[in-house]
Amino acid sequence: MKIWVDADACPGGVKEIIVRAARRLRVHAVFVANKAIGLPESACLSTVRLARDPEAVDEYIAEQAEEGDLAVTQDIPLAAALIPKGVVAMTPRGELFTEANMGERLSIRNFMQDIREAGTVTPGPRPFSQRDRQRFADAFDRELTRLMRRRGP
């Protein structure tokens, strides 16, 4: 089991939670980004730095992640590629992507992209709050525990 992190836009508080959990539980966490990511020294942590191509990170995670892994990403198309592989995908705000909600999430994302391409200015995401951090920590712990139990000793 691995934790895959789409690290380009991952909030610092979420990164800290993932680092602590990976070290405590001895689960390998891979931070994939288009830029350098600073992490503490640990055999449980690694980074992959890819070309500036905006899709490179998503493609790498989609290719490397396996059933039973956990991915943290805000990218809806990446989550859509991971779910059929049996990878648990969640946002840095603790929202789970599922087969049940993926169609709606993709539809809304595509609609908003069409609006932006037509020239409409849309609001960005709301600021990341302490409440978001706590929601992520709770959901991350719950899903990580569930995956580790399923994996067995």
Mean pLDDT in consecutive groups of 10 residues from the start of the chain, 153 residues: 94 97 96 94 96 88 97 94 96 92 71 74 80 97 94 68
What's the rounded Cα separation, in Å, for the pair 43 and 130? Answer: 29
Given the candidates 3.90.1690, 3.30.1660, 3.40.630, 3.40.50, the CATH classification of the domain at 2-151 is: 3.40.50
* Paired tokens of 34: 């288009």
pLDDT given at position 136:
98
The amino acid at residue 77 is P
pLDDT given at position 29:
98
Supply the pTM of this predicted model.
0.86
The amino acid at residue 84 is P
pLDDT given at position 129:
93
Tell me if 21 sits within 8 A of 141, measured CB to CB.
Answer: yes
Helix (H) or strand (E) holding 96: strand 96-97
Helix/strand/coil for 14: helix
